[in-house]
Structure 1
């Protein structure tokens, strides 16, 4: 994994890459150290993708340009375009799977399922929330993300509807799913 010191340097290095990843981290943070260690391990097992890192103590422009407000965050790029942001620290096997999943491009199906209205209620520091959002993106499910740590009214409305305070909670066409209950999510989203 290569360290970059600015946005300009980073962009110049991914101009010819199909797939690239940039870990934004903060030196001295336990979560960042965890993410850095696991991304380094995953990067050693991937031959096709380029991996970069930037310490926000040193690099001041990248996180602002991509709207990243918390670290560690792994930015995922395809053909130089930002396609996903994975927040928090995950196991190296998760990062390895992420590098493999980015190679997968689902074919358009001839029969389109009816569009679902999906809203995810989450917080930036919730690892299950980030896992849920990554899973929705992987399955090409558009969703609205509401950060209940910043929107007290949404948090109160959510408790009134579900009777639960915890996150993640997902509203799919009026049906609430508490936690990352994959079988229930697949059922409501009609995913095989």
Structure 2
């Protein structure tokens, strides 16, 4: 695994490699230390299977210019770059096999005929204490759906925008291509995203 020291270093990696995974973490934080250890273990397993992924990590205590560039407000956060573009952001500590499933799902967003399905824009509004938020994020991860997470407890402007658009304060709320869904309405979410 490569240690990234700056945004410039990250751009060098994403420019030179098709699939780059970056774990942003904060050394000394229980969640981050858990994520780093499991990410390293998943990376070793992926390397043994000759998967074409470049795995990187950056400690936000030392590297200050990456997380603001991509709107990351909480760590640990796993960022997936494909051909230099940010395609997915997954937060929290996951077991090594979950990290491997995330690697596989992102690699498997190519349809059988080789063409990519157009990925709809998905934003999930969450808070750290919301259990349904974790359920909805897990549902997206299991189905290979790339999403952006916004923690409304830390972002007042985003919270106000969410309430303005849906008329509701509770989370989770999901914005799929501009359509707001309040709660974990699995049927409607699956319908909008083409999940069977």
Q: Answer whether TM exceeds 0.5 for this pair.
A: yes
**1:154 and 2:158 aligned:** no
Spell out, residue by residue over 1:77-123, the C-alpha distance to the aligned partner (whole angstroms, 9 max, x if none).
111221111111122212101111222213468xx9xxx99774423
Distance 1:63 1:117 in 2: 20
**Residues 2 and 121 (structure 1), Cα distance of their counterparts in 2 relative to 1, 3 Å cut:** closer
**Residues 13 and 146 (structure 1), Cα distance of their counterparts in 2 relative to 1, 3 Å cut:** closer
Distance 1:174 1:60 in 2: 33
- Counterpart of 2:76 in structure 1 is 72
**Aligned length, in residue pairs:** 176
**Residues 121 and 71 (structure 1), Cα distance of their counterparts in 2 relative to 1, 3 Å cut:** closer
- Counterpart of 2:195 in structure 1 is 191
Asked whether the 8 Å contact 2:6–2:63 carries over to 1, the reply is yes
Give the TM-score, by structure 1 length: 0.72
**Residues 184 and 92 (structure 1), Cα distance of their counterparts in 2 relative to 1, 3 Å cut:** farther
**1:19 and 2:23 aligned:** no
**Residues 25 and 185 (structure 1), Cα distance of their counterparts in 2 relative to 1, 3 Å cut:** same
Give the RMSD, CA atoms, in angstroms: 3.5
- Counterpart of 1:51 in structure 2 is 55
Shift of 1:157: 3.8
Name which one, 1 or 2, has greater alpha-carbon Rg.
1
Distance 2:180 2:84 in 1: 37
**Residues 30 and 98 (structure 1), Cα distance of their counterparts in 2 relative to 1, 3 Å cut:** same
- Counterpart of 2:91 in structure 1 is 87
- Counterpart of 1:7 in structure 2 is 7
Unaligned runs of 5+ in 2: none
Asked whether the 8 Å contact 1:120–1:169 carries over to 2, the reply is yes
**Residues 122 and 45 (structure 1), Cα distance of their counterparts in 2 relative to 1, 3 Å cut:** same
**Residues 154 and 16 (structure 1), Cα distance of their counterparts in 2 relative to 1, 3 Å cut:** same
- Counterpart of 1:131 in structure 2 is 138
Shift of 1:186: 2.7
Shift of 1:187: 5.0
**Residues 6 and 135 (structure 1), Cα distance of their counterparts in 2 relative to 1, 3 Å cut:** same
- Counterpart of 1:162 in structure 2 is none
Asked whether the 8 Å contact 1:39–1:95 carries over to 2, the reply is yes
> SS where residue 102 of structure 1 aligns?
helix
